Chains A and B, each alone.
Chain A
Amino acid sequence: VAFNHSEAHFRSLIENSNDMIALLDAQGRFEYVSPAVTRVLGYADSELLGHTAVEFVALEDLSSVLPRFTALLSGDTSLTTAEYRIRRKDGGWCIVESIGCLLRDDAGGAPAIVVNSRDVTERKAAEEALRQTDARLRLLNNISRHVKLGMPADEVVEHVLGEMATHFPRYRVSYGAADNGRIVVRFALGTAELPAIIGRVIDFGETPAILGILREGRALTIENAARDDRLGAFAERLREWNVAALMLIPLRAGGQLKGVLALASPRPRTWAAHEQTTLREVGDYLALAIAESEAQEQRKRVESALSISQQRLRQAQKLEAVGRLAGGIAHDFNNLLTAIIGYSELLLAELPDRDDVIRRDVLEIKQAGDRAASLTRQLLAFSRQQVLEPQVVDLNAIVRNMDQLLRRLIGEDVHLVIDSAADLGQTKADPGQIEQVVMNLALNARDAMGDGGRLSIRTCNAALQADEASALGATPGEYVVLEVEDNGSGMDAETQSRIFEPFFTTKEPNKGTGLGLATVYGIVQQSHGAIGVTSSPGRGTTFRIYLPRVDEPVRPARADGPSAPHVETSETILIAEDESSIRNLMRAVLARSGYRLIESANAEEALERLAAYDGSIHLLISDVVMPGLNGPELAARVRQRQPDVQVLFLSGYADQAVLGEQSGPHAFLAKPFTPAVLKEKVRQLLEPRRRA
């Protein structure tokens, strides 16, 4: 009774247990299964009893399960554990953990095996999920540890992709930057089964639907590219790249698509939820880091631009001050030079005897005056106070005329060689600007040859073919070339790439403005030309200025010589000029030509004299800038009295700015001028009246 009572107890324990308990015979057949077995696996008792247990085990797991069974039967061990998969009635697998022990029959019958199994399927799934979460957190942790705020975007991407490749060893991870609806693949790491794709372009213009998905911030998940009908032309790209399965996460910042992060497999696959989560989380982080890095770069750019523009402003202010000073000095010089040159000419006219010693001396004075006038003109060109016009010019003539000036500029240690092509074509340019180009290049060459050297200036014709022209940024065609070569220190590539930037200079502070080559560049560009530079450190520098060749003859310069015949005249000229030397010179010149002159030192005096004069005035010659009323204002007053009066303004270059639209019709004579030019100008102005 006690036994029976006890057996009922045990039976109750077994039948109410959640563990699956089974009894197997020596052949491994089910002799008994507890209700838990049928409950968990879904089979009816009859489907199990008498059947071999291992028939239900996954083939793969037999190698570990069967030896344990045999070990129990043979008595090698009395207790064994195993983890394996067993087929459920519904076709799924149940992962079980089993403990088996041998049950000997004391009566000498065949032994049996008791197997106590527990369904660990859910626990295994939870463990796997935990493992994946753990791996994902480790990945994010690694990324956030390596990616520092403000790191350049490329470095951020590189770090993130490196970590991703470790996390997803079986896939390729890649990053593409968004560029006007296209994606340019910038980084790719991972499985060698896929071809290299860096630099490749995905044009979602072909597949707007996909671009739409990405722009909305949704992920694109492709399990089998060959069977995905959303892809359109993109499918072709994926086939080319041997990608069957793809996950594409848009990287967005500030509502904008910055790029994509992708996970690709050469084989079709169903992407697991945890893989999608991981990619999404890393993508969000990457987008944030890229946006932060861009913001940082933008801040740096703004700061540096601000600092540069402050420097430029200081430079420009300095330059303007220097320019104003140079212009002012040149203005006064021009007054003096007009007198020096003018009186020299008057004297020369009085001394016709060529062998006269005094005449030779006066000639020296005049020539010195001419040279001084030329220097003043260069100075004004340099301070950019000239408004000049393009005309057909002969480069050879320009270079020839600058010979003296250049020799003075470059000093005695530099040997100047000028080699002009005899058949050189013409070009259309502003001669003053071209002179400035030559001067700036010569100055740079001189500074590059601190210990002296050789400066070669050559001219030649050139025909630029398409490839040469495009390398120079010019259009193909015929050019005339001005070549300036030195054998000085030369430049490295880095310097060469910046020489035409305004305010870039390799010279010591205060030694160069950094505008020399920038001005050259501007002038050449304005003249529709191009510049070629060859240079290397220690090997000297060669600049080649290409100017478009034109087939027009050079217009002869306006004759300076006395062209008009001496005519007796009776016109009255009102002169207003505060500089007495100029006034005196004009009197000397014009009185000899028979004009009647009314002289004044300023506008007010001129108006007084005019008021006191009964006859009519034919011509007003006035300085532009005077104390009190200026030239244009005086001209307006005179015109009120006598509307048909001719007006001739005299000016140093610096005064030109005063002459505006309101100045009325007028002629203009630049200082310094020669008596002959003055006479000719006056004659031209008064002649129409005389004819009429």
Chain B
Amino acid sequence: VSAPEVVAIAPQPAADLVAALAAAARDLDTDARWLRRLLLEVERPTAAPALVEDVAGWAQRLAVDLDERIDRVVRLDAGVLADAAPGAARFLDLRGLDDLDELLVALTALGVLPSCPRLGDVGARRMALASLPPELLARLAEQAPEALGPGDGVPFAARDRANRILLRRHVARLEARADRLSVADRRLLIDLRSWRDDPDLQVVKLDAARGRVVLARGDLDTASHVAAIVPGAGLTIHGISRRHEAWMHHLHDEMSTRLTATGEQGDPATVLWLDYDSPQRLVPAAVRRDAASDAARRLPAFLEGVALARPQMVTVLGHSYGSVVIGRSLADHPGRLAADQLVALGSPGLGVQLSRELSLRDDQRLLAATFEQDPITHVGQWSPLTGDVGRAIHGPDPRRLRAVEPIELSTHDLVDAGPLERHLQYLDEGSSALRLLADLAAGAGRPSSGG
């Protein structure tokens, strides 16, 4: 039997166990030899001595392996947790641990946390991890970046630290085979280096293998006003468009200007949330709701993590298929979307047919804005005479739902460079639409018109 991988070690109990294992191994070995003699004497050979010898060997190997691990851990991590848990000198070896709940169990087993938070509970995680000394949390992020990086409820500074480790590793892997990278990977390498070198970014999640990334401009731990953009179809980590990333920056800058102008205390943070498998083709992927329903399982937990940092206002802007994600989040997880304002931009529909499916909280606003020239208006077909929504792929145009406040956008500065372009100018730099949406996200109240 091979010894299990040790992820967490408390030295004294472990040393005691090593001694007990070694003693048991010696005794079992002696027992086995004596048994073999006795059984031969009475001419009753059985497999018993061999089995006992096997167990003795297992115990001996386990003792040696455990002893080596303790030695390694103590040499590497001496002092780190002793500072965090005075009176109980304990040490951690968390390398290779990639699950946040396992990490919390390990911390509890070692006495670093007084009790194990309810597993999967974002709020309980936040409370537990926020109670740790910052330097310990930073050390944990370095030791177990796979566990802390994607963990909703983990303070965002720690997530950023962990994800930047993952980011640098991925950059190194790509650079190691730089001469034979695909076009997509070359593009990804450029983006990763850009994010790595940008100190104003928080890398909130990075899962290159699954094509997912969440970036923030500003500090989500301290921001007073947060705006998260859920982009639509056609994006992956290999194809984050410069435009979508720029939206995050433009929105941040506009919100900052607005907050300064109104004399509000606080700073904005903006997010590009691509933690889902954005449909890569319009047909058939983008006409289905699968990706949105899948995304709806993660968006509420992310926003819960944001809300735990207690910003004054959280706004989620779903662009195009991203608005279907918002709709399905509201419909599938009633009351769990921790946002004050939800805005559907250029929406093909919210993935629902009726307002009552959306389960909005009383204090929650759902708004929708679409340029009349945006070809997406043809997707959410709706007949005012018959009420027929049968042809609408993702439900009716959200502006026609009772629960939705429509926003009128000025189109005087819209650049008409083709149908797709008319679908992509909602948050472009300098546009009146961007200013209006930034005002909204900065808490300027209900907008009545753009321009």
Decide whether A and B are members of one complex. Answer: no
B-to-A contact residues, CB < 8 Å: none
